Structure 1
């Protein structure tokens, strides 16, 4: 009886050792997951909340109404025409061209900065531009996150008002930031991939339909010849605005790819995915 028990214990010991060895062999034979380097970030940088949370809302109706109410406090709004509503950069110039005036007429021009805290406009420049004068250029000051109004009134020979215009000039923070996302990271060629771009900065981003792809060749990323419509800029994204599009993957073979979004000449972001 003792021999039978000893034999059974020996058999269990041998079986356990073989089982442990087999498990180890299986782990050693498993392929290690390869991490492919991607030198382009998915999000350009951290969100600068100090700028995003205080940025002028130059497309907000309430903000525009506020400025108009201050500007027209001592003016007859019905007599004015808004001619310009544009984003400028510091150093840009705004032209006052007198060529359209009659020979004896002039422009009375006032360049005003909006003081948001005090809810008032501050005069920066006052200028008279005669018909015979060359174009007068207003240089936008070197300051960000500012709104300006330019008042331009055409005056006739007898000091009668011919035309009254005002121009809205906005110089937002020059804060460029964005993120690109995919709905998945693994696809099959018969599937569609959804690409979403989100503007995380303070200025508008241009985008549109069509994508640019790179493929990993084992050593480097190289541009993949993707037969589709050429990427076209036709959509402007404001802060926190998003744009999504579906991309057909039937032309893609098995491998690792990345979608690239160009933000500026020097800044790009990307999101990588694999085709099974």
Structure 2
């Protein structure tokens, strides 16, 4: 009987702890709740709302020719290079060769390369010349052929680099790298291209909200990221909100979920994102977002301040 009584007490104690734990989360989000501001985590201190010169005018190629680097279909009708035929390069379920062409944002002096990938144990027989070109673009037109080499390939192994070179030390330039497989009459049997962007390695960007002042009845605000170039910005949907508590910025313990996706902004573009402020009371706040330069080791944390009355 005594054991049953003790077990019952333990059961009641555990249930009380569970109920207390559940009750702590209701109406109070995060450790300490929204009303316990003095115990919120310390924020990131002083942060800028912009970096570089957001009024910068970049003298460079047609911005429509800038990335996405992974989607080249629109170039097949605008450049001398046709869609892959599938005779050699794998495309639309045809072809026998995999491939790798340097693409994306690079620095002047970086290596570029062309790699073929065979899928047979003994190698994929070719016995063909391959014409490699690195061309500087002006919009969609070839301004100048920087590199042109003919490489003879008899057999392609499992991962064979057939050519490599060095990008010129020149900034704010868009290049096209091409590989054309030629027959014995020097006619193109198949081809593939990629884009390489070499910008000045800098970030010129600003983060702001659509208004500086909001009411407590407002449910959301619009966060605006402006890219003044010349680089392509990379970021996610994630952000944090901090509040000025006395003299310190503190992280508001909101329970938020974000889609884990990567987003890009070309130079001259703006990105807008809705931010939920329905749980915030009166005070001075800021939205914080991390951004980086696509392909380069340049990162910056920006903060857009706003007030709720």
The equivalent of 1:165 in structure 2 is 191
Change in 2 beyond 3 A, CA 1:54/1:255:
same
Change in 2 beyond 3 A, CA 1:120/1:209:
closer
- For residues 137 and 225 of structure 1, what CA distance do their matches in structure 2 show? 53
- Residue correspondence of structure 1 range 178-193 to structure 2 within 5 A: 178-191=205-218, 192-193=220-221
The equivalent of 1:59 in structure 2 is 64
- For residues 259 and 79 of structure 1, what CA distance do their matches in structure 2 show? 44
- Give per-residue Cα distances to partners, 1:158-182, cap 9 Å, x unaligned: 5675732141423241332211121
- For residues 233 and 78 of structure 1, what CA distance do their matches in structure 2 show? 31
The correspondence for 1:113, drawn from 114, 131, 135, is 135
- Does residue 226 of structure 1 match 2:243? no
- Does residue 87 of structure 1 match 2:104? yes
The equivalent of 1:9 in structure 2 is none
| TM-score, with length taken from structure 2 | 0.59
Report the secondary structure of 1:105's partner residue.
strand
Q: Kindly report the root-mean-square deviation, in angstroms, between the aligned alpha carbons of the 2 structures.
A: 3.9
Change in 2 beyond 3 A, CA 1:78/1:215:
closer
Is there any run of 5+ residues in structure 1 with no aligned partner, and where?
A: 1-36
- For residues 128 and 172 of structure 1, what CA distance do their matches in structure 2 show? 26
The correspondence for 1:96, drawn from 107, 110, 115, is 115
- Give per-residue Cα distances to partners, 1:4-44, cap 9 Å, x unaligned: xxxxxxxxxxxxxxxxxxxxxxxxxxxxxxxxx97222221
Report the secondary structure of 1:59's partner residue.
helix
Q: Greater helix share, 1 or 2? A: 1
Change in 2 beyond 3 A, CA 1:232/1:256:
farther
Q: What is the deviation of 1:89? A: 0.3
- For residues 111 and 227 of structure 2, what CA distance do their matches in structure 1 show? 24
Change in 2 beyond 3 A, CA 1:115/1:155:
closer
- For residues 210 and 138 of structure 1, what CA distance do their matches in structure 2 show? 38
Q: What is the deviation of 1:126? A: 0.9
Q: What is the deviation of 1:213? A: 1.3
- Does residue 44 of structure 1 match 2:67? no
- For residues 131 and 142 of structure 2, what CA distance do their matches in structure 1 show? 21
- For residues 259 and 247 of structure 2, what CA distance do their matches in structure 1 show? 26
Change in 2 beyond 3 A, CA 1:115/1:235:
closer
The correspondence for 1:148, drawn from 172, 175, 178, is 175
Change in 2 beyond 3 A, CA 1:223/1:114:
same
Q: How many aligned positions are there?
A: 229
Q: Is the 8 A contact 1:55 1:172 kept in 2?
A: no
- For residues 132 and 246 of structure 1, what CA distance do their matches in structure 2 show? 50
> Which has the larger Rg?
1
Report the secondary structure of 2:118's partner residue.
helix
Change in 2 beyond 3 A, CA 1:140/1:212:
farther
Is there any run of 5+ residues in structure 2 with no aligned partner, and where?
A: 1-43, 67-71, 92-100, 293-297
- For residues 203 and 126 of structure 1, what CA distance do their matches in structure 2 show? 30
- Does residue 272 of structure 1 match 2:305? yes
Q: What is the deviation of 1:128? A: 0.9
